[in-house]
Amino acid sequence: MAWWKFGNAKQEGAAVTPAQQAVIVQRLASLLPSFRPLTIVTTNWTANTVPVTYKLSNFASLGTSAQGYRTSATQNLANVGTVAVSGGAFVGSLPPNSVTTWVIGGANYAPAMSTFNDSSLVYSSSNCGTSWCSGSQSGAYASDNHWSSQVGSTCSLTFTGTQARVYGARACNQGIAAFSVDNRAETDVDLYASARTDNQLTYVTPTLPLGTHTIKCA
């Protein structure tokens, strides 16, 4: 079950502080594999009813309705019916001092991705001078090829997101590449192959906290 998690849930009959009354919290905690129910939990600690539009544009597919459940001073996960999901969005109404849970079936998450080619990387010096050697390579992405045979050469890319995937070549003149993220421990990857193949998936970072990260290859 995918889960949009909230913290410090109000227990039935519990007092609500003035600070809580000013806050509506929606935290995305995790999204489990494809085609699972998506659960969204939203709190409204204010004294007013609040309409909320939930935009789920990063989902490749969703069910057609969201089933609602509510907890308040007079309700305990009460079934409050369904609202229609259309165009990757739906609108819900949050009564004062309540916790509303929406469950949507058939959720398939497909986050937005960006592609960076060789020219986006930062290169150290190499046997070719102040940057890496470069040239055209049939079969490579955009026919672009960069390499270095100098010990200690590095290249890096800074990106914003939660994960990066590296594609490159495997060939008989390739060796061991050491990948690291945010200057943490390196992971060695053997890029040797008896015959050259380009645009191969060579490394996938762990899932990272959403933010800016730097991946380095040495």
CATH number for the domain harbouring residue 201: 2.60.120.260
Q: Are 88 and 177 part of one and the same domain?
A: no
Q: Which residues of the chain have pLDDT under 70?
A: 1-36, 111
Q: What is the pLDDT of residue 112?
A: 73
Q: Are 159 and 100 part of one and the same domain?
A: no
Domain membership of residue 208 as a residue range: 118-217
Distance of alpha carbon 139 from alpha carbon 197, whole angstroms: 8
The residue from 41, 76, 109 where one domain ends is 109
Q: Note whether 82 and 104 are within 8 A (CB).
A: no
Task: Report pTM.
Answer: 0.56
Q: Are 98 and 132 part of one and the same domain?
A: no
Cα 41 to chain center, whole Å? 19
Number of domains comprising the chain: 2
Q: Are 8 and 97 part of one and the same domain?
A: yes
